[in-house]
Structure 1
Amino acid sequence: MTVHPLRLAVLTRNLEPGRFGTTVTHWFASAADQHDEFKCDLIDLGRIDLVDLPARIAEADAIVIVTAEYNHAYPGDLKTAIDAVRHPWFAKPVAFVVYGGRSRGLRAAEQLRLVFGELHAVPIRDTLAFSETDFTETGHPVDPTTDPAAQALLTQLAWWSRPLREARASTPYPG
């Protein structure tokens, strides 16, 4: 039996050069590409028409949200994008890679957990959280445990992704 790779949508807000979020997103996408189980689909909310977003999420087996924390929350344009999708989130595992200031984005991740729980998604407990001092100027993590932590998060995401993909294929989610 052939096991097809899992489709991982990495949803980020903006991939403009020189932004810290771009550094984090590119680093994480590279880590996901190194994980044998995933085929990565990088989605830049700054470049995609929101009308096209639900189809991209529907095609995904798992989602990673890469976002900053602003004012103890996640940004409004991300909320708009999440709300534009609705049903394709159902029964999909979702992980968070967050960044920002003193909290390293963890308050945004906690709020996103609530939102995705309401959307019948499956938020993964582990989160990757960063501040700007956590990366070198060349875009590599300073802490040598960061890459293994990313692989551990991806392994957990894959663990949830396969059975949920099979369940969605055999029985429509009753949402």
Structure 2
Amino acid sequence: MTVHPLRLALVVRSAEPGRFATTVAAWFGRVVERRDDFKLDLVDLATTPLIDLPARIAEADGVVVLTPEYNHAYPGELKTAIDAVREPWYAKPVAFIVYGGRSRGLRAAEQLRLVFGELHAVTLRETLSFHQVPGCFTDDGEPTELGTAEAATALLDQLAWWARALRDARTTTPYPG
């Protein structure tokens, strides 16, 4: 029996060169590409029209949202994008990669858990978080903090489990959302 890779949407606010999100997205993309259980779809909200977003999320078996923390929350453009999707979020696993100042973006992740709960999505406990400071990544685009690679593996392992379980459940029994 052939096992198809899980489709993983990496939703990022902007992957423009020189932005911190770009560094994190590129590193995480390399981590995902080293695995054979995921096929990555980079969804850059700066270039993906909102009208296309529901189909991209619907095609995904799991989603990782990469976002900064702004003013103890997440950016408004991200909320607009989330709200533009609605039903494709139902029974979909969502993980977070966040960054910011002292809180490392964790306040944004906690608020997003509330939003995705309302959308019937399943959020993962494991979260990757970074200080947005020089020296957080090497010049080669690798994280400097010990344990980051292991944390990414734990996040992806859990995301793969939830993505398979929920994909199988959605296939056999439509979600009653």
Q: Given residue 155 of structure 1, which amino acid in structure 2 is its aligned partner?
A: D
Q: Give the aligned partner of residue 4 of structure 1.
A: 4
CA apart distance, 1:62: 0.1
2:162 aligned with 1:168, yes or no? no
Q: Do the aligned partners of 1:61 and 1:93 also contact (CA within 8 Å) in 2?
A: yes
Q: Structure 2 matches for 1:47-66, cutoff 5 A?
A: 47-66=47-66
Equivalences for residues 7-156 of structure 1 within 5 A: 7-131=7-131, 132=133, 133-156=135-158
Distance (whole Å) between structure 1 residues aligned to residue 154 and residue 36 of structure 2? 13
Partner amino acid for 1:97?
I
In the alignment, the residues of structure 2 paired with residue 18 and residue 137 of structure 1 have an alpha-carbon distance, to the nearest angstrom, of 12
For residues 86-141 of structure 1, what are the alpha-carbon distances to aligned partners after superposition, in whole Å with 9 as ceiling and x for unaligned? 00000000000000111110000000011001100000001000012421233211
Q: Distance in 2 between matches of 1:33 and 1:82?
A: 25
Q: Is the 8 A contact 1:35 1:154 kept in 2?
A: no
What SS does structure 1 have at the residue aligned with 2:174?
Answer: coil
Matched to 2:108, the amino acid is A
Matched positions, count: 175
Q: Secondary structure of 1:134's match? A: coil
Secondary structure, aligned partner of 2:146:
coil
Letter in 2 for 1:69: E
In structure 1, C-alpha distance between the alignment counterparts of 2:125 and 2:74, rounded to whole Å: 17
Kept in 2, the 8 Å contact 1:35–1:151? The answer is: no
Distance in 1 (CA, whole Å) between partners of 2:89 and 2:56 is 11
Give how far 1:21 is off.
Answer: 1.0
Q: What code does the residue aligned with 2:172 have? A: S
Identity level (%): 68
CA distance in 2, matches of 1:117, 1:35: 28
What runs of 5+ residues in structure 1 fail to find an aligned partner? Answer: none
Compare 127-136 and 69-78 and name the one that shifted more: 127-136
Offset at 1:80?
0.1
In the TM superposition, residue 159 of structure 1 has moved relative to its aligned partner by 0.7
Displacement over 3 Å in runs of 4+: none
TM-score (normalised: structure 2) = 0.96
